[in-house]
Amino acid sequence: MPLLEINFDGIVGPSHNYAGLSLGNLAATRSAGRVSHPRAAALEGLAKMRANMAEGPAQGFFVPLARPNAGWLAEIAADSGTDPALLAGAWSASSMWTANAATVSPAPDTADGRCHLTVANLVTMPHRSHEWRGTLAQLRLAFADAAHFAVHAPVPPCFGDEGAANHMRLASSHGEPGVEVFVYGKSGGPFPARQHEQASRIVARRHGLSRALFIEQSAEAIAAGAFHNDVVAVANEGVLFTHERAFADPAAAYAAMRAACPGLVVIEVPETAVNLPEAIRSYLFNAQLITPRSGEMTLVVPSESWESAPVRAWLERMLASNGPIRHVRVVDVRQSMANGGGPACLRLRVVANPTHVDPRFLLHEAKADLIEQVVRKYWPEAIDPAKLGDPALAEAVQNARARLLEALDLTELA
């Protein structure tokens, strides 16, 4: 079987809530204090997975991490006087955004011919900084075949690493050798730059990459709320879809990418068509750019993008131009969007032979039906963030996850 792109989506966890913990993520801070709907959120994500799978791309998933995280609470010596935000961090369901799970380099790009994955340390935000241990456990199960995969621990925490959300790959096709583009930021604005340049360089060296580019993200984009590069740019095979203000030096960035990937098509959305705040609010670029079975590239956008007049007008002009992106598909992931994560946040792209992956992490229709049954039966319908810490809620969340692990034969992750 040839190498395929597998999208691993995070199943939205039963503790999904709006505690507003992510500085610089404008949607998350706007939603702080709202009542969330974990069951609806998980079903939205599952529907997106089903729709992608129906078009041909292979689909995988990761399960929610254990919440509330008792280990984190012990590490911070939590008591009744602890900052509520730190306590809420133990309940965060943010591991659902698997674009931050790891950085992935497919076998054609690496020195030893294996697919390399480095779990992200996510140290910039306290509520995410304790995810990596649980994520690493799943990566080591899913990609346990050492002949074809190498799974790495996080880079040192002095170098902030946010995973694939700041990483793009350009190639003539997924199974061919490509160039990997690492996008980093520099601090100095109102919000932190979450991806450190040295973290990116460490990952590239670990993975044995001979072809890698390191490109600075626009400080203007970070200040406007593009906390990750995937909020303002996305790539697929030989296409880069980007806002004109995504990179610090766009002309130099495009020149470097074109030199490394001859034939690259850059689709740049100008500020005059969709301004940066609207691009970020609508998550136009936090879309999944995929090559379905038909071979006609498809952009999977959140409904918020299609409902934006300037974004929709631009997308319609793009489709009429008969460029490389031939279709736009709209998905409803409003629960995730309200916490600052669009369709692209919910998935990690892994180019590999699916037969080398632990089949328990691969989705098919019967398994999707099983997951849906568990979610409908056990996921809380609603969570008021004021209730975080309630013992009854904790028991319900823990039981829901346990039932899912049992159904999927993944109880070793308990």
Q: What is the mean pLDDT of residues 189-214?
A: 94
- How far, in Å, are 51, 129, 172, 290, 341 from residue 296 at the CA level? 16, 38, 14, 9, 25
CA dihedral angle for residue 226, residue 231, residue 232, residue 234, rounded to 10 degrees: 150
Q: Among residues 180, 166, 235, which one has the least CA distance to residue 211? A: 180
pLDDT at 1 over 80: no
- The reported pLDDT for the residue numbered 22 is 82
User: Which 3-state string (H, E, C) describes 383-397?
Assistant: ECHHHCCCHHHHHHH
Q: What is the pLDDT of residues 63-96, one digit of tens each?
A: 999 999 999 999 999 998 999 999 999 999 999 9
Q: Rounded CA gap, 379 and 335, in Å?
A: 14
Cα–Cα–Cα angle for 373, 378, 381, rounded to 5 degrees: 105
Q: What is the mean pLDDT of residues 346-350?
A: 98
CA dihedral angle for residue 110, residue 112, residue 114, residue 120, rounded to 10 degrees: -60
Q: What is the pLDDT of residues 239-289, one digit of tens each?
A: 999 999 999 999 999 999 999 999 999 999 999 999 999 999 999 999 999
**Beta partners for residue 267, in sequence order:** 241
pLDDT at 25 over 90: no
Query: Could you give the count of Cα atoms lying within 13 Å of 104 in the half-sphere of its Cβ?
Result: 24
pLDDT at 234 over 80: yes
Relative orientation angle of helices 365-378 and 38-54, to the nearest 10 degrees: 170
**Beta partners for residue 183, in sequence order:** 215
| pLDDT band at residue 227 under the 50/70/90 scheme | confident
Are 310 and 278 in contact by the 8 Å Cβ rule? The answer is: yes
| Domains in the chain: boundaries | 4-413
| pLDDT band at residue 56 under the 50/70/90 scheme | confident
Q: Which residues contact 340 (CB under 8 A, 6 or more apart)?
A: 22, 25, 26, 27, 28, 227
pLDDT at 361 over 90: yes
Looking at the domain that runs over 4-413, which CATH code has it been given?
Answer: 3.75.10.20
DSSP calls for 74-85: HHTT--TTS-HH
The catalytic residues are: 162, 228, 345
| pLDDT band at residue 59 under the 50/70/90 scheme | very high
**317 φ, ψ to 5°?**
-65, -40
DSSP calls for 318-367: HHHTT-SEEEEEEE--HHHHTTT--TTTTEEEEEE-GGGS-GGGB--HHH
Q: What is the mean pLDDT of residues 189-210?
A: 93
Cα–Cα–Cα angle for 343, 347, 353, rounded to 5 degrees: 135
| pLDDT band at residue 325 under the 50/70/90 scheme | very high
Q: Among residues 132, 199, 129, which one has the least CA distance to residue 166? A: 199
Q: Which helix (H) or strand (E) holds 40?
A: helix 38-54
Q: Rounded CA gap, 264 and 318, in Å?
A: 17
- Mean pLDDT in the chain? 96
- The reported pLDDT for the residue numbered 45 is 98
**Other Cβ atoms within 10 Å of 55 Cβ, number:** 17
Least confident of 32-36, 357-361, 366-370, 379-383: 32-36
Whole-prediction pTM: 0.96
Q: Rounded CA gap, 49 and 347, in Å?
A: 9
Give me 365's structure tokens.
């229709």
Q: Rounded CA gap, 398 and 337, in Å?
A: 24
| pLDDT band at residue 188 under the 50/70/90 scheme | low
- How far, in Å, are 186, 191, 340 from residue 305 at the CA level? 28, 24, 14
